[in-house]
């Protein structure tokens, strides 16, 4: 399969690296308007460099590409890719504007091309294992989810606020674990260190019986990426960075005290470090995308999924007065 990468920045260079190592995949080109950056990535992986993505699409006629350009360019570049009949994976978020995302999803469907969106945390092995535990009922009924995704401001992000850039990860994970979107949204956000866009937010999502809370910022001096899930049968904690998954099984009994009042008596919870086969999430994501193209299947994160997350993110921004 002939593949390419459009955008050779921080994420694009990693897409190119993984494609170049994949069995049955031929990385044929890298496109980026920055000649120095693009040529460096292309040279490192033995493929051709193109300054213009349209020229790359016309000359190389790839079967699939990764779109790794800045968020503000997602719509224009993805539209070109679809019009050339090429399957595509767009780095998250799908686009900056909701209307553009809706158009991209409709165009891909009409053209009959596969469209995946790069919500990479879905492919984190610890998240995949957690999903299976939830589906098996190990945690019982899920009552709350709490995510913290904080750290220092990334200078390379120039066209998105903290909600669009990183909160979308946890919005997607909440939707994925629960199998549905939220029914109610409340949030508060502000600008602490950056004047032109929100750099911190606290987001409350209601899922018909389950509460979801997301804390994101570009202020905390240490990088933290954790997810906590509480259910009627236990509690689970995921460290996205280390891919560690810890499960606490509740031990309790419902009884009555000496006055005849109903009480719940808790014992010491059973703590277990769940075995997780640790792998690079981006590699798993690209393998899933290529497999969907080869076998005419559905990517794990579809265009519709990406659209749903963007719709929620925009509602969050509106609820903050943005």
- If asked whether residues 163 and 252 sit together in one domain, one would say yes
Structure tokens at 291: 């497999």
Residue with tokens 């090429």: 86
- If asked whether residues 223 and 294 sit together in one domain, one would say no
Q: In sequence order, what are the beta bridge partners of 254? A: 264
Q: Tell me, yes or no, whether 305 lies in a domain.
A: no
How many domains does the chain contain in total?
A: 2
The residues near 39 (Cβ < 8 Å, ≥ 6 apart) are 49
- If asked whether residues 136 and 271 sit together in one domain, one would say yes
Structure tokens at 99: 């209307």
The residues near 97 (Cβ < 8 Å, ≥ 6 apart) are 75
- If asked whether residues 238 and 180 sit together in one domain, one would say yes
The answer to whether the beta carbons of residues 102 and 289 sit under 8 Å apart is: no
Q: What residues make up the domain containing 70?
A: 2-120+283-300
Q: Tell me, yes or no, whether 250 lies in a domain.
A: yes
Q: In this structure, how many other beta carbons lie within 10 angstroms of the beta carbon of residue 226?
A: 17
What tens-digit pLDDT sequence spans the chain (322 residues)?
Answer: 999 999 999 999 999 999 999 999 999 999 999 999 999 999 999 999 999 999 999 999 999 999 999 999 999 999 999 999 999 999 999 999 999 999 999 999 999 999 999 999 999 999 999 999 999 999 999 999 999 999 998 877 777 899 999 999 999 999 999 999 999 999 999 999 988 899 999 999 999 999 999 999 999 999 999 999 999 999 999 999 999 999 999 776 555 655 555 555 666 778 999 999 999 999 999 999 999 999 999 999 999 999 999 999 999 999 987 6
- The alpha carbon of 27 is separated from its chain's Cα centroid by a whole number of angstroms, namely 24
């Amino acid at each position: 399969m002939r593949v390419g990468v459009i955008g050779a920045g921080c994420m694009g260079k990693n897409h190119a690296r993984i494609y170049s190592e994949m069995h049955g995949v031929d990385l044929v080109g890298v496109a980026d308007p920055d000649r120095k950056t693009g040529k460096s990535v292309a040279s490192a992986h033995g493929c051709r460099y193109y300054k213009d993505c349209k020229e790359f699409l016309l000359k190389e006629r790839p079967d699939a590409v990764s779109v790794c350009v800045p968020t503000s360019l997602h719509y224009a570049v993805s539209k070109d890719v679809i019009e050339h009949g090429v399957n595509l994976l767009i780095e998250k978020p799908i686009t900056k504007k909701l209307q553009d995302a809706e158009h991209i999803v409709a165009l891909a469907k009409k053209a009959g091309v596969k469209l995946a969106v790069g919500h990479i945390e879905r492919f984190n092995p610890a998240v995949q294992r957690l999903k299976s535990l939830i589906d098996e009922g190990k945690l019982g009924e899920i009552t709350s989810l709490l995510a913290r995704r904080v750290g220092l401001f990334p200078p390379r992000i120039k066209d998105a606020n903290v909600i669009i850039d990183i909160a979308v990860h946890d919005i997607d994970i909440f939707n994925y674990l629960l199998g549905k979107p939220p029914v109610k949204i409340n949030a508060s956000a502000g600008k602490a260190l950056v004047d032109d866009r929100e750099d911190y937010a606290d987001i409350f999502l209601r899922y018909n019986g389950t509460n979801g809370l997301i804390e994101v910022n570009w202020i905390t001096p240490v990088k933290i990426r954790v997810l906590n899930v509480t259910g009627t049968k236990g509690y689970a904690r995921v460290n996205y960075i280390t891919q560690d998954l810890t499960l606490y099984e509740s031990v309790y009994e419902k009884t009555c005290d000496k006055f005849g009042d109903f009480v719940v008596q808790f014992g010491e919870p059973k703590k277990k470090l769940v075995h997780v086969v640790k792998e690079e999430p981006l590699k798993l994501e690209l393998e899933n995308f290529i497999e969907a193209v080869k076998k005419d299947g559905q990517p794990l994160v579809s265009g519709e999924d990406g659209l749903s997350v963007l719709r929620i993110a925009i509602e969050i921004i509106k609820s903050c007065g943005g």
